[in-house]
Structure 1
């Protein structure tokens, strides 16, 4: 029976071993490998260039001596003995290949090169190597062959042993010195990379020290203005946003618990009293009281769900919405005065925008003395801008304006004005915070839980717009600006 070969575990090969090494080790190893290749290539090129330079020097000297001998031979001034001062060996052969002149100590019977090699060397004009041991010269020789008048040939040669010795010595130095250099470079790379990665290690330790209950913790930011500095700054900004979100979440939970406690306590009290004294209890009145508190709980739950959806960024579907029709229905439902321009269309969700209208109009009706006016108009691009410092926190509402103005289709301006007591200028931003009520005259039953304007602001911002409050002299005016739908979308 054939057995299936064992499967190798993922990551068990060389690639897996490499991935399991530390970043410092991998960077050092990679840098060392690259340096080793670069140094080896440089050493190879250096030895080659050095050898060519030394051989070229010998070739030039040998050629110069050969030319001098050829010139003397052509002028008939060449004696029996040829004297050189640089240990160059010279043989002069006649047309029959017999040696007629030579330097002292040079073989006068056997030419350094045979007839065939002499002929090829003359035609090519290039230096040739030959073994000097048969002629009593240790090591190789570098020779040049030139032709002279009367069929004579001049052979000039010089020992190549010195060049070989120089190249051998250079090679030994490189063989011994290159590994030492690589070790030093690897150690330097290890130290430099370790110092470079030290801020990342500090970031890791700082992140490990941050617990789920920690407050206002930040990661260490290195002094150097490099990528690690940017990473630490970005992470600290993220921690700040998370802390702010956590603080908002805790405040929301605390405020919601406080708001839920009152109607629940009222329901419990009414039911306990009714059960304790059933004989004298007006059950219809009790039911109405419990129903009223239950409606408060229902409205609070709906508001909290709406805020949770907005906080999660789950904006509703985007489609052309006839804002003029929504405003007309809100005006009829609340019995207020309307000044509505027809055909004003925005991109958004009709239910969310309807909630914005309901909250603003209901708030105005609740605090108006006699009159509430709801107006809607369209402004072309660049015709107006929201007033700074009211109803829109810095850096938050402005983003909506940018998105709204980017369409180039203008903005829809919705205003809800009442002639009530108004709100002091220093409090017009604070009323958009969640669970905010400004005066004790607004009871919980009448004023709600303080989430209406918070829902308005978050919804308008999610639709790319802004909302702020301004003085109506007398009264208060809420101004909502939303980007108009693009013409192709509105059609």
Structure 2
């Protein structure tokens, strides 16, 4: 029988996984509370240390001042016994032999507060020392200062620091009680503030949940504050607008494609039904030619749709970015057209995909040949400008931008029977834009001129 499998790594990761599964509000509040607790604890320790040091320094200054006053009288020989002090300071004056000569009232006259070794160490260091006052009938700890006077005399001044200890103890109690209460208040405030700050995000989440396939045009709520959440909401709304536009374009493309496919399919079906219904009087060669023509039309439409799908899939980026001799592409393409004449062809190198650029020129020349009256002229200049000119009926100025839309055909001289599905110029513009260029139409008087500008490689 197999026992349970021990997974120390999983156990070790359990707190981390638990933490990651908590809400953002909870984690931010805990982190803020932890930082505040550390800051308050550090502040409390620093406060107590500074308070202790300040109070002790105050006592040391008072002791030195009192001892200095006694030393002046000792040097002048004007000391009286007992020595009078007004702040409870205990003073002993010792002669060169270490015998106590003068003291304050109630102070031990037989045993010095500090022995000879301690007095020498205090004099050498020049700092105050602590000593236990209980052997001298003084409760608590004393702070003592030692000064040397003339004729080998020594002045020892001491004072109880019990009040300092009481003050520090009271401050500790206040911090021990007040710090947790303050921490709780700050944690509650952080919880409320963070919740209010995250409220716009909750509104965004709710708004996103309400956007379905039946409510695509809705937008996410944008908060009034000009903060990061505002920028996020604006960015997400822009993304929704782009997605909606792309979906509308896709739906329009599918609808237009279905409409374009219907005519050749209906024509093929009708020709075959008539031929099969009356086989004895049917010219099968004529029927085959008619079906082949419709099949070629379907093939061209499928190729155009595939080209547009690839352009959309690449997001406006050419399939390849490699040096292309555009003049060579122009010459090779025009070799297939007896109606087109190359009037100028300067050496030009661009970066992109040679097949896509060849398709651009093919579509333009096909359109020009289809609608020209007598001639088609193609020119390529050294600055990357490619022009295709025909002397046909042309296109009205108000329609020259509209013809670049997908499935757009003009009524005059560009009917369904004479032209294609209205995708040629759309493919041209999107391909040229993907290569960093632009395309527009001009009046050739008579006819039409298509101008393509491509950036020349360095």
- Band of TM-score, shorter chain: over 0.9
* Contact 1:324–1:340 (CA under 8 A) maintained in structure 2: no
Question: What's the offset of the Cα at 1:368?
Answer: 1.6
Write out aligned runs for 1:439-458 (5 A): 439=411, 441-458=413-430
Match of 2:328 in 1: 325
Question: What's the offset of the Cα at 1:121?
Answer: 1.6
Write out aligned runs for 1:290-301 (5 A): 290-301=291-302
Match of 1:459 in 2: 431
The one of 420, 429, 454 equivalent to 2:392 is: 420
Question: What's the offset of the Cα at 1:109?
Answer: 1.8
Instruction: Please tell me whether residue 269 in structure 1 is matched to residue 270 in structure 2.
Output: yes
Match of 1:429 in 2: 401
Deviations 1:321-366 (CA, angstroms, capped at 9, x unpaired): 2222332333342222221223222222222212111111111122
Instruction: Please tell me whether residue 59 in structure 1 is matched to residue 60 in structure 2.
Output: yes
Q: Report SS of the residue matched to 2:173.
A: helix
Instruction: Please tell me whether residue 183 in structure 1 is matched to residue 187 in structure 2.
Output: no
Distance 1:322 1:232 in 2: 46
Question: What's the offset of the Cα at 1:20?
Answer: 1.0
Deviations 1:150-187 (CA, angstroms, capped at 9, x unpaired): 22211111111111111111111111101111111111
* Contact 1:88–1:156 (CA under 8 A) maintained in structure 2: yes
Any unmatched runs of 5+ in structure 1?
A: 380-411, 487-491
Question: What's the offset of the Cα at 1:46?
Answer: 0.8
Which region of structure 1 is more displaced relative to structure 2, 99-108 or 429-438? 99-108
- Cα 1:323–1:41 change in 2 (3 A) is same
* Contact 1:327–1:340 (CA under 8 A) maintained in structure 2: no
Distance 2:447 2:94 in 1: 126
Write out aligned runs for 1:230-249 (5 A): 230-249=231-250
Distance 1:72 1:434 in 2: 112
Instruction: Please tell me whether residue 358 in structure 1 is matched to residue 359 in structure 2.
Output: no
* Contact 2:346–2:382 (CA under 8 A) maintained in structure 1: no
Q: What's the Cα RMSD here? A: 1.7
Match of 1:468 in 2: 440
* Contact 2:371–2:413 (CA under 8 A) maintained in structure 1: no
Distance 1:15 1:325 in 2: 63
* Contact 1:336–1:372 (CA under 8 A) maintained in structure 2: yes
* Contact 1:122–1:147 (CA under 8 A) maintained in structure 2: yes
Any unmatched runs of 5+ in structure 2?
A: none
* Contact 2:392–2:446 (CA under 8 A) maintained in structure 1: yes
Q: Report SS of the residue matched to 1:83.
A: coil
TM-score, structure 1 normalization: 0.89
- Cα 1:193–1:324 change in 2 (3 A) is same
Question: What's the offset of the Cα at 1:3?
Answer: 6.1
Instruction: Please tell me whether residue 102 in structure 1 is matched to residue 103 in structure 2.
Output: yes
Instruction: Please tell me whether residue 6 in structure 1 is matched to residue 6 in structure 2.
Output: yes
Match of 1:339 in 2: 343
Question: What's the offset of the Cα at 1:319?
Answer: 2.8
Match of 1:156 in 2: 157
Deviations 1:433-483 (CA, angstroms, capped at 9, x unpaired): 010011154332311100110111111111111110011122211000111
Q: Report SS of the residue matched to 1:84.
A: coil
